[in-house]
Structure formats: structure tokens, C-alpha cells
Amino acid sequence: MERVAAHICFSSLDEPELSSLTSFVSISSLCRMNQTFTGPSLLDVLEAVPYGRYFWRAVRLPLALTCAVLAQVSFIARRDDASGGVVWLVAAVGIFILSLRIDRPEIPQDDSLAAVVDKTGVRWRFVGLAILLSLLTYATSSDNTFTGIGVWLWASSVAAWLAAFWDGPINLQSSITRFSNWLRSPAFTIRFSRSLLLFLAMMVVAVFCRYYRLDAVPPEMTSDHVEKLLDVNDVLEGQPSIFFPRNTGREPLQFYLSAFIARTLGTGLSYLTLKIGSSLVAVLTIPFIYLLGRELGDETLGLIAGTLASVALWPQTISRVGLRFPFSPVFVAPTLYFLLRGLRRGTRNDFLLAGFFLGAGLYGYTSFRIVPVFVGVVAAMFGAVKIARRQNAEAESAFAGRLAMMAIVAFAVFVPLFHYSVEVPEMFWYRILGRVSDAETQLPGPPAAIFLSNEWNSLRMFNWTSDVVWVNTVPNRPVLDTLAGGMFILGAAYVLFRLVTRPNVTDAVLLIGVPFLLLPSTLSLAFPNENPSVVRSASAIPLVFLIAAFPLRLFLEQMAKALGSRVGRAIGIGVIVVGLWLSGQEMFYQYFEIYPAQYIGGAQNASELGKVVRDFAGSFGTYDSVWVRAYPYWVDTRAVGIYSGKFGWDHVILDNAEFANTVSAPGAKLFILFHQDVLAVKTLRQLYPSGILAYHVSKFPGKDYLTFLVPPNEDFDESQLAPPQQ
């Protein structure tokens, strides 16, 4: 294997490059290219040179990381030929595994069987109250409506379940008293530490990336955004739905958050309101990615994972687009954090918090529905290990009890939405059944074959295959950028190496977690062309960037060992910071240069037409005297109304015969037409011979438009003017 890895690494280099490289780098036994070579190996030569062995120790892991980055560069640059990238990738994995075998990095001990004695038993008096409150919550959640009393009962039931199972003292009166005293004399004590400053720096990067030029990028609404704003308007108009059936059905959380933002920030029913909310949710994901990394590694791993996710193109595009996509990873991250923390440490309260986020996530985005299944699989894996190791009956009973408590809390949060799923199951499951079955269309082939093909394409989307939906991503580009893509492959190899070297159930969870959380995309059996989907795969974001952070954390550790703690660590940190900065630069170029340019190529120009409507209505016309003539694949006239500042305006003419209905309208009139609609222009010329036609060039390619202005038909008689005073 070592000879093969060396051959792959060096066969792609020409003779001068190979000569130059071998004069600086020793690959130990990798350098023995064939059995007939009897001279001194490159390792022997380097060992004769002062510090040669130390040099090899310092460069073997960086060499693997460099090959991985070059592989991703090749995959991105040469979209018609993956062979070059595969060569670099095999070399990277081979050198990386060799480095792991030589260096033997410390592998965390499997502490998933920690036996922790609970401080507090179940508070049964709260259990009875919680059951009653949950039943009342279900009863008051009928007709797909949140009521005031229903929401109060719902919140009280969740609080009662948490109080019943919480491990530790609960002194609500004392907490209220302390809070009241603090309100009378508020004071803060902040202790700055290196850890806090690094965490804050990571969050500053995340906030900056998610909010920089948010008003301009993405540049335009689509019809999906119009549907979302109609739902937000329903909330503002006093229709507090539990599930929103418009547009094939959607979970409610985004609409309530957007309604809150629209009122508190004064942004109203606008595209900016949607983008502010979705970007906020994306920012809140980063701290839990950090915590997940810290739990499964250390603070450094968490910081690298969180920063990688902050500067990556994938989370950036799906977060700022203003749709529900980031509402999946924002709940996946805390659910997995508290779940794995609870399973590894045996702490009951972590199970309860995992249950809370598990239930809450079901109100965010449809793809999150795979997470309860994944949580069940993870729990079963940990349970199987416990049974195999034959822990005592008391420990097994405590483990089962904590899982049951987590499930109860999750279901208590889910109750209102569960009621809706019972009342209207066809709408609740419509989106999922339309993809996994023939509910909408006949499957294009055998389900098993489609699934396997989808899975293959989905797993390769990080480095090779791509989503083609221009709203959600830069089409025909792998999901991960140059650094993250290369590191993800090495990170997966590292997790597999740990699993083989020292079997660890946590590593097994990481290894199966990514393909499992990709299932909302890969299960698109009816529409395999929709796979891979960057938005339905978003649940995997926390694990993907955690795995990608492992090689960089190992690199920092090796630099400290090879070059000395202080110097090596400084060099390692410098290289990682530069790498993250370059990743940010790559994201900025792709997102703020390439993405808007290709976005407007497919987007509507409703904002331009909305400005025309607003200017006309604010000058010598009214909103009632301006119309848009519909044209196939041009513009959603509801969006025109939103951009005009008059939500609900939708003066659309669907047929040329309808122009005659406008003749009786008084005052000036304005008609907006697609630039190729010759028949509409002919009709207007016949109705309004004095009309003025103008051609307008749009910044959206192929979306030029015409305006047909009809002057007012009122002519004032000047003889009625009073004579001038002498």
C-alpha cells in the first residue's frame, strides 16, 4: 500500500518537479518504489542530513493536506474530467493514513458507558400535572389554530415535563426573587478569557458573513418568497395557524419569526424581512457546531468547525436566501450536541434538552423529520453497546429511562403539530409522499435502483456532483469549497481510522450520520433530478463541517510536536488562519460576484416593475389605474405589488380582451407589458390611439419591458378661468 501511495503521489509530476520535491521531502518507506532498488532510500539520505527525520515528521501531514486541497482544486476546475482529482485524492488519503499509522495520534476513550447516578428521582406530582396539560394542549389545538389558552397550556405542559424529570433541585421562587432583585439593580460581570475572545471572534465572522450586503444579495424575490410573505401576512392579520397549507404545506416557525421581525424592526412584509430571519437562524447554528466540536474533541476543534461553517458557501447561500432551509441545521446541531453529551456522560438533563430541540425542530423545515429516526438509530447503537458489554441491570434501566424521558419531552413539544397531522394527514405528509412515492408522478424506475443512484450522487456532492437550482447555490459546483472539500475526505478517513483502531460508538455515529441526514435528498425517488439538493441535505451541515475540522486539528497538533510546542503551534495556527481566510475569500467571490450574476439571469424583475408602479401611483396616477399584462415565465405580479409598497396589489390582465374593461377607468392609465408582447401592444393601440409606448432595458437578461401610458382624458376649459385682476 505504501509503494502504491507513493507512486500515485509522484506519477502525476513530471521529472523536474519530482526531482525538486524529492530533494526536500522524505516519504519513509513510501519512497521504495519497487523491489529492485538496492541503493539507499530517501529516508536514509535524509537521516544523514541534520534534522532530516524531524523535517519528514513535520511535512508528511501537511503534504497529505496539500494533496487533498489540490484534489478539490482539480474537481472544481475540471468539471468534465475527475481523473486528476482522483489521483490527488488517493495520494492524499494514502499519505494521511500512513501519517496516522506512524504518529498514532491519541484517540479519545469511549466514555459512552459512563454510569452517572442521578441526584433526583422523578417528581411524580409533576408527571400527573404534565399529562393533564398535554391532553388539554391537544384538545385546544384543533382546527389548525394556535389559541391563547392553547399556547399557555402547551408551554406549561413542556415546563411541567421538564420539571418532572429534571435532575437537581428546582427552586422557582428563589430564582424569581433573584431575578427581581437583579432587575431593580442590574449589573453585569464579564470575565474575558482567551477562549471567550476566540469564540466571539468566530461569531463576529459568522454575523458578518450572514449580514454583509444582505439587502442586495440575493437581489430578487421568487414566487416562493411571495408565498412565504402571504403566510406572514396571515399571522399579522390574526390567523395563527399551526401548519400553513399554502403551497403544498409548510411548518410555521419561519412565519412567526418573520412576523415578529416585520413589526419590531419595521421592515414590513418585504423580502428583507425574510432574509433577516433566516440569516439570524443561521448565525444561531454556529455556537452549537462549536459546542459539538468541543464535546467530541476540544475547544480548538469546535472553533475550527464553527469558523469553517461560517465562511463556507453552502451555509451562506441557503441561509441568506430567505426561505426555511436553515431551520433544519439550527435544530440538528443542538439536538446532536445534547444527545451525544447525554449518551457519553449519562447526564439526564442533556437528554431532556435534546428532546426539547428534537420536538422544536419539527416546526422548522420538512427535512428535519429524518432527525427523530436518526436519533432512534443513535440511541439503539449506544444501547446495543451497553447490552454487549453487559452492564448491570440498574445501569441499563437508567439508560432506557433517560431515552424515554427524552422522547416524552420531544412529543410534548410536538403535540400541537401532532394534532394537525392527525386531523389533516394528507397535507402534513404531502411533500414527503410526493417525493418518496408515486403520489404525484410515476416512479421513473425501480425504487432500489433510483435510491442507490441518488445515494451515490448525494455522497459525491461535497467534492464532485452539484445542485443546479440557481436560487439556492452556484450551479455546477461542488457543495464544499477548496479547503473544506479536501478536509472532509481526510476527516472521514480519520474517523474511519479511529473506528478501526479503537472501536468507538461515537465515531460510528459520525460515520453513518452524514449519509443518514442526506436521506431527505436521496429519497427523492419520484424526482431523482432534484438530487443532490443542497437545501434538503442541510441537516448534515453540523456533522460535515465537524468532520472537515478534524484534519486541521491534527495538523495543529503535529506541528506542535514536530517543531516544538510554541513555534509549531504558532506556525500551525498561522497556516489554519490563512486557510480559513482564503476559504472566506473564495466564498466572497463565489457568493457576491458569481452568485448574483447567475441569479438575475433566472430571476424575475418584479422589483423594477414595482418601482414603476409605485412612481406612477405616487405622481399623476393611482394603484387602481395601472396594470401588468401577464406573459409566460416573466413575472409574478403579486411580487410586483409587494415591491410597489402595496401588499396585496395584483392588477394583472390575463387576456387581451380584458383591456376593454379599463376604458371606463378615469384619469391617466399605465400598462406594463413584456417586450415581446406584440399582440397586447396592438390591442392597446386600438383602444387608446393617443397612448405613449416606451421601451425599458432591464438589468435582468431577457426581461426588458414596455410601458404604455394613456394620458388623462380630461381637458380643462380655460374659458372658465377668472380674468386677471388689474
User: H-helix or E-strand containing 709?
Assistant: strand 705-710
Q: How confident is the model at residue 110 (pLDDT cuts 50, 70, 90)?
A: low
Mean pLDDT of 148-152: 97
- pTM equals 0.91
Mean pLDDT of 210-228: 97
The whole-number pLDDT of residue 658 equals 97
Q: How confident is the model at residue 56 (pLDDT cuts 50, 70, 90)?
A: low
pLDDT in tens, 16-26: 333 333 333 33
pLDDT in tens, 401-445: 999 999 999 999 999 999 999 999 999 999 999 999 999 999 999
Mean pLDDT of 686-699: 97
The whole-number pLDDT of residue 181 equals 80
pLDDT in tens, 163-189: 999 999 887 777 787 878 877 888 777
Does residue 606 carry a pLDDT above 70?
A: yes
Mean pLDDT of 290-298: 96
What CA–CA distances, in Å, run from 632 to 155, 310, 676?
48, 39, 11
More confident residue, 713 or 332: 332
Which stretches within 346-424 are classed as H helix?
348-361, 370-388, 393-423
Does residue 391 carry a pLDDT above 80?
A: no
The whole-number pLDDT of residue 6 equals 44
Does residue 722 carry a pLDDT above 50?
A: yes
CB atoms within 10 A of CB 338: 26
For 654, counting Cβ atoms within 10 Å of its Cβ (0-12 exposed, 13-18 middle, 19+ buried), the class is: exposed
For 213, counting Cβ atoms within 10 Å of its Cβ (0-12 exposed, 13-18 middle, 19+ buried), the class is: exposed
Residues 6+ apart with CB under 8 A from 629: 652, 653, 656, 671, 672, 673, 674, 677, 680
Bridge partner list, 694? 707
SS3 of 443, please?
coil
Cell numbers found for residue 505: 460508538
Which has the closest alpha carbon to 315: 537, 622, 631, 59?
A: 537
User: H-helix or E-strand containing 692?
Assistant: strand 692-696
**DSSP tag of 444:** S
User: H-helix or E-strand containing 669?
Assistant: strand 669-674
Does residue 195 carry a pLDDT above 90?
A: yes
For 470, counting Cβ atoms within 10 Å of its Cβ (0-12 exposed, 13-18 middle, 19+ buried), the class is: middle
Q: How confident is the model at residue 397 (pLDDT cuts 50, 70, 90)?
A: confident
Mean pLDDT of the chain: 90
Residue in the structure block whose three cell numbers are 490527488: 88
The whole-number pLDDT of residue 2 equals 41
Q: Are 352 and 405 in contact (CB under 8 A)?
A: yes
Compute the distance between CA of residue 356 and CA of residue 334 in angstroms, rounded to an integer: 10
Compute the distance between CA of residue 143 and CA of residue 419 in angstroms, rounded to an integer: 9
The whole-number pLDDT of residue 315 equals 98
